[in-house]
């Protein structure tokens, strides 16, 4: 998350960093105990991505309890050390401490693509594993890919191709003019690039593409411009609670152009309020998926936290489960051995119809994705089931990597 | 760009300025009278929004519109009585630390009580819709919001400039020792000003809950631009804060209109920098003895 320079932000960030450093340094954490395997969990828990981070943390707690109840890993309990990653600088400092001081076996988490990059650099330097559960940018799987980073979260290309297929079916691409709003930081820039490539390949064009600072909260000026530009579709490449602001104000100004988004988290729509959700959006997972694994997860999460899990909860839950399962299978917690194992592309239950696997080429998890269509206010029965999901993308007769980026689109050269 | 489009953008900018104004006025009042830099002001704004969501099912939006700012103001009086009051005469850095801590405690409390996810809230049915005049379109709710805010600001101006209460407050800003020498205790005025300023932040919370995302960090998001407004306007100056809020809103609005939205945040800091370079007191800042 890239914040604009500002005195107060600076003070807040600096103090949050200091507080966290103090917390890590506290004597409560003793030296490595042989009966416990520690996993470091970093994710933004404050700021504009904080609402999503909360789901991630809850999912990790649930996964850890389930793993330990099932006998742990190699006969040892696992323990998650969880911290607010705050911003890319703090994320990197905390990752270093977790690895060098707390001797974690692996770092799991993140949502901000910018913080993913700094954590991945630490992981590579210290030869430790980092599983990205929420950073979408293609660059993390391309120009910045590295051997020590694996991605449970889908890349921007997969999001764009999933929603893109739904929009092609709605005839909203060829010959159409889109007006896009893009979050002005690593994630947004990357997403816009992928979205533009999609439009070029499919014969559409952009009426305008606007970059929006991440602390931009009043969209009235933007909505006025959109109205006078009369695009065929308005496209959101925004992130976090900013999407909630956009949805609320779009409804307020009564604009009727169809809306789609290339990045989305269910929590921002749940938080918008009745009449404020519309359009077509991509999801890496949603709580209505009808598989036994998914249902079990939704039930356990809802029983514990009194709300259904959203997509970010799925990412961190599945990452922890895959990690524990793999350590048990190869009977080792060593990063190099796990990397070798995952590069052989074993299949994992990711709570969907088909099993997923980490693609050797760029370490991206290949799995099904979904496009969801907002329900009309009169079709909504309860506050959680607010959209109609598509069938899984890609379809059953296609290989899973049909929606992944190709090596030409996103070149990854793994450095050792 | 057509004339109607420019007019709409000016109006959008004005309204954006009015949000900042509701926050910045309270900040400025509390700072000029007590010397407290209230970093917790954004937290009171967030509290106003959350209270609106809590109160609406019981008393409706109308009830929350009155109840929430009043409750926030009363809470503000308690904060003034038990915390601010100890710091009026001390080094401003102490009160800065106090309110900074308070802001963090408040944000985290909201997160613990209501969760980190944004809470759903919509514009009340009766206030939805748009105003159309030819090519010109505007949100009906924002029109009402603008009227409410202007009425509040006019009311505060009258209170400060046309009443005995206002005379003492203004004298207290200029020269508290002289006020004391005249046998007037500033203490009750401090309470009243804190309630007024903090209540305004609560009011902004109610007004913005239907159109902004209601989440724990919402206060932190609004406090920085509000400070910029106070600094540009000049400390202790009512019209300075008003002028600066409108200026900041307009500059932001027109920069977005011109197609440079990504620079809209940077632009207001640049504006502040220019004002500080050429007029360190701010646009309408008065010379305040104890800060010279």
pLDDT more than 90, % of chain B: 69
**How many other CB atoms are found less than 10 A from the CB of residue B167?**
14
Confidence of residue B4 (pLDDT cuts 50, 70, 90): confident
Nearest to A213 among B12, B215, B265 (CB): B265
Q: Which residues of A touch B111 (CB under 8 A)?
A: 50, 54
Beta bridge partners of A236: A181, A261
Among the partner-chain residues A211, A228, A249, the one whose CB lies closest to the CB of B261 is: A211
Lookup: tokens for B145: 């919001």
Contact B5/A at CB under 8 A: yes
β A106-109/A370-374 pair status: unpaired
What average pLDDT does range B170-176 have in this prediction? 86
**Domains with residue ranges and CATH for chain B:** 3-291 (1.10.3470)
Query: Rounded to a whole number, what is the distance in angstroms from the first to the last CA of chain B?
Result: 46
In angstroms, how far is the first alpha carbon of chain A from the final one? 28
- pLDDT value, residue B2: 74
The pLDDT of residue A243 is 95
| Side-chain-facing half-sphere of A248: CA atoms under 13 Å | 28
For residue A311, give the DSSP letter: H
Closest CA in chain B for residue A244? B213
Where is pLDDT greater, at B41 or B259?
B41
**Residue A73 pLDDT:** 96
From the list B5, B100, B222, the residue facing A224 with the nearest CB is: B5
Q: How confident is the model at residue B288 (pLDDT cuts 50, 70, 90)?
A: low
| Contact between chains at B141 and A54 (C-beta distance less than 8 A) | no
Q: Which of A64, A49, A52, A47 is nearest to A304 (CA)?
A: A64
Going along chain A from its start, the domains and CATH numbers come out as: 7-155+290-366 (3.40.50.2300), 157-285+368-403 (3.40.50.2300)
Element (H, E) at A343: helix A335-343
> What pLDDT score was predicted for residue B241?
93
- Rounded-to-integer distance, Cα B237 and Cα A274, Å: 42
pLDDT at B135: 74
pLDDT over threshold 90, residue B281: no
Cα separation, B92 vs A238, whole angstroms? 39
Question: What confidence category does residue B268 fall into, taking pLDDT thresholds of 50, 70 and 90?
Answer: very high
Residue among B116, B227, B262 whose CB faces A51 most closely: B116
A262 min Cα distance to partner chain B (Å): 19
Interface test with B, best of A1, A6, A182, A218 (most B CBs within 10 A): A218
- Does the distance separating the beta carbons of A276 and B122 come in below 8 Å? yes
Question: What distance lies between CA A93 and its chain's CA centroid?
Answer: 21
Give, in order, the Cα–Cα distances in Å from B242 to each of B131, B159, B237.
26, 15, 9
Partner A contacted by B214 (CB < 8 A): yes
Q: Are A305 and A56 in contact (CB under 8 A)?
A: no
Contact A220 B15 (CB under 8 A): yes
Residue A208, classed as helix, strand or coil, is strand
Cα separation of A236 and A258, whole Å? 11
Structure token digits, residue A11: 């003070």
CA Rg value for chain B: 19
Q: Mean pLDDT, to the nearest integer, of A39-56? A: 94
ipTM of model = 0.92
Residue A25 pLDDT: 44
d(CA A288, CA A275): 21
Query: Which residue, among A122, A138, A80, has the nearest Cα to A316 in the 3D structure?
Result: A80
Biggest distance spanned by C-alpha atoms of chain B: 61
Check whether A16 has a pLDDT greater than 90. no
pLDDT confidence band for A101 (50 / 70 / 90):
very high
Q: Is A94 on the interface with B (CB under 8 A)?
A: no
Computed over every residue of chain B, the mean pLDDT equals 91
Q: Is residue A211 within 8 angstroms of chain B, CB to CB?
A: yes
Residue whose entry in the numeric block shows the structure tokens 């340094």 = A25
Q: Which residue has the tokens 């600001």?
A: B153
Q: Is B209 helix (H, G, I), strand (E, B) or coil?
A: coil
Asked if residue A353 lies in contact with residue A291, where contact means CB atoms within 8 angstroms, the answer is yes
Pairing of strands A280-283, A77-84: unpaired
For residue A143, pLDDT beyond 80: yes
Contact A393, A359 (CB under 8 A): no
Output DSSP code: residue A76.
B
Q: Which has the minimum average pLDDT: A303-312, A363-372, B27-36?
A: B27-36
- What are B186-214's pLDDT values in tens digits? 899 999 999 999 999 999 999 999 999 99
B contacts of A211 (beta carbons < 8 Å): 261-262
Predicted local distance difference test score (pLDDT) of residue A9: 45
Strand partners, A393: A369
Most confident of A8-17, A44-53, A157-166, B252-261: A157-166
Stretch A74-95: mean pLDDT: 96
Q: Which chain A residue shows the shortest CA-CA distance from B214? A: A271
Name A384's Cβ contacts closer than 8 Å, sequence gap at least 6: A270, A287, A307, A308
> Which tens digits make up the pLDDT trace of A180-219?
999 998 899 999 999 999 999 999 999 999 999 988 889 9
Asked whether the CA dihedral B1, B4, B7, B12 is positive or negative, the reply is negative
Q: How confident is the model at residue A19 (pLDDT cuts 50, 70, 90)?
A: very low
| Residue numbers of A between 10 and 49 with CB closer than 8 Å to B | 11-12, 15, 45-48
Q: Min CA distance, A396 vs chain B (Å)?
A: 34
Closest approach of chain A CAs to the CA of B176, in angstroms?
Answer: 29
pLDDT at B236 over 90: no
- DSSP assignment letter at A144: T
CA atoms within 13 Å, Cβ hemisphere of A295? 4
Share of chain A above pLDDT 90, in %: 87
Higher pLDDT among residues A96 and B34, named by residue: A96
Asked whether A333 and A78 are in contact (CB, 8 A), the reply is: no
Residue of B nearest to A48 (CA): B217
* pLDDT at residue A413 tops 90: yes
Contact A4 B269 (CB under 8 A): yes
Q: Return the beta strands (E) in A312-364 as ranges.
A: 357-358
DSSP-assigned letter for residue A410: S
For the stretch B269-275, contacts whose Cβ atoms lie closer than 8 Å and that sit 24 or more positions apart, written own/partner, are B269/A4, B269/A5, B269/A6, B269/B228, B271/B228, B271/B232, B271/B247, B272/B228, B272/B231, B272/B232, B275/B231, B275/B232
What is the per-residue pLDDT for B138?
Answer: 87
Q: For A76-80, A367-371, B53-57, B230-234, which range has the lowest pLDDT when averaged over its residues?
A: B230-234
For chain B positions 67-106, those within 8 Å of chain A (CB to CB) are 100, 104
Q: How far is it, in rounded angstroms, from Cα A196 to Cα A237?
A: 11
Mean pLDDT across chain A, nearest whole number? Answer: 91
Residue B284 three-state SS: coil
Nearest CB to A221; choose among B256, B265, B266: B256
Q: In this structure, what DSSP letter does residue B61 have?
A: H
Binary contact (B117, A221; C-beta < 8 A): no
SS3 A375: coil
Which residues in chain B are closer than 8 Å to A44, comparing Cβ atoms? none
- Residue-wise pLDDT tens digits, A357-409: 999 999 999 999 999 999 999 999 999 999 999 999 999 999 999 999 999 99
């Amino acid at each position: 998350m890239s914040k604009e320079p500002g005195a107060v932000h600076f003070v807040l960030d600096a103090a949050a960093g200091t507080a966290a450093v103090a917390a890590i340094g506290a004597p409560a954490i003793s030296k490595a105990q042989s009966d416990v395997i520690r996993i470091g969990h970093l994710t933004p828990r404050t700021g504009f991505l904080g609402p999503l981070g909360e789901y991630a943390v809850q999912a990790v707690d649930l996964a850890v309890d389930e793993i330990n109840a099932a006998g742990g890993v190699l006969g040892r309990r696992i323990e998650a050390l969880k911290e607010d990653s705050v911003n890319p600088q703090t994320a990197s400092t905390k990752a270093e401490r977790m690895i060098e001081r707390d001797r974690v076996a692996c770092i799991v988490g993140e949502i901000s693509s910018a913080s993913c990059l700094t954590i991945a650099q630490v992981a590579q330097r210290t030869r430790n594993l980092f599983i990205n559960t929420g950073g979408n940018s293609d660059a993390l799987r391309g120009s910045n890919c590295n051997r020590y980073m694996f991605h449970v979260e889908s890349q921007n290309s997969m999001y764009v191709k999933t929603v893109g297929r739904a929009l092609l079916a709605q005839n909203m691409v060829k010959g159409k003019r889109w007006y896009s709003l893009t979050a002005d930081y690593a994630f947004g820039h990357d997403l816009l690039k992928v979205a533009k490539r999609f439009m070029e390949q499919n014969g559409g064009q952009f009426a305008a593409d606007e970059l929006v600072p991440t602390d931009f909260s009043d969209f009235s000026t933007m909505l006025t411009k959109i109205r006078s530009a009369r695009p065929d579709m308005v496209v959101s490449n925004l992130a976090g609670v900013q999407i909630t602001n956009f949805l609320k104000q779009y409804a307020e100004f009564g604009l009727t152009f169809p809306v789609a988004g290339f990045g989305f988290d269910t929590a921002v729509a749940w938080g918008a309020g009745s009449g404020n959700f519309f359009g077509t959006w991509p999801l890496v997972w949603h709580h209505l998926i009808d598989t036994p694994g998914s249902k079990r997860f939704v039930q356990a999460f809802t029983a514990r936290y009194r709300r259904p899990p959203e997509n970010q909860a799925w990412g961190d839950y599945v990452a922890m489960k895959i990690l524990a399962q793999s350590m048990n299978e190869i009977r080792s917690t060593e990063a190099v051995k796990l990397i070798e194992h995952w590069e052989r592309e074993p299949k994992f239950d990711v709570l969907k119809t088909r099993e997923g696997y980490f693609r050797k080429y760029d370490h991206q998890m290949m799995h099904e994705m979904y496009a969801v269509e907002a329900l009309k206010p009169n079709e909504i029965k309860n506050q959680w089931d607010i959209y109609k999901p598509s069938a899984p993308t890609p379809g059953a007769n296609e290989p899973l990597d049909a929606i992944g980026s190709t090596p030409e689109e996103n070149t990854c050269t793994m450095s050792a | 760009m057509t004339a109607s489009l420019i007019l709409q953008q000016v109006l959008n900018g004005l309204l954006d300025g009015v949000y900042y104004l509701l926050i910045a006025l309270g900040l400025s009042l509390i700072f000029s009278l007590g010397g407290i830099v209230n970093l917790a002001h954004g937290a009171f704004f967030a509290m106003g929004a959350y209270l609106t969501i809590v109160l609406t099912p019981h008393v409706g939006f109308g009830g929350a519109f009155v109840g929430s700012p009043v409750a926030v103001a009363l809470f503000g009086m308690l904060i003034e009585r038990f915390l601010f009051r100890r710091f009026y005469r001390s080094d401003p850095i102490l009160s800065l630390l106090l309110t900074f801590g308070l802001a963090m405690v408040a944000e985290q409390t909201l997160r613990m009580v209501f969760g980190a996810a944004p809470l759903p809230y919509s514009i009340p049915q009766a206030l939805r819709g748009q105003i159309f005049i030819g090519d010109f379109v505007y949100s009906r709710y924002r029109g009402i919001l603008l009227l409410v805010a202007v009425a509040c600001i006019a009311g505060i101006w009258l209170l400060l400039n046309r009443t005995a209460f206002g005379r003492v407050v203004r004298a207290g800003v200029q020269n508290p020792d002289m006020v004391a020498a005249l046998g007037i205790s500033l203490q009750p005025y401090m309470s009243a000003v804190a309630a007024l300023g903090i209540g305004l932040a609560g009011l902004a919370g109610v007004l913005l809950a239907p159109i902004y995302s209601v989440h724990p960090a919402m206060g932190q998001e609004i406090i920085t631009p509000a400070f910029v407004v106070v600094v540009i306007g000049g400390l202790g100056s009512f019209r300075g804060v008003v002028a600066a809020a409108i200026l900041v809103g307009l500059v932001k609005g027109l920069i977005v209109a011109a197609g440079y939205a990504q620079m809209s945040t940077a632009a207001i800091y640049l504006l502040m920098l220019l004002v500080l370079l050429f007029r360190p007191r701010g646009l309408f800042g008065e010379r305040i003895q104890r800060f010279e």
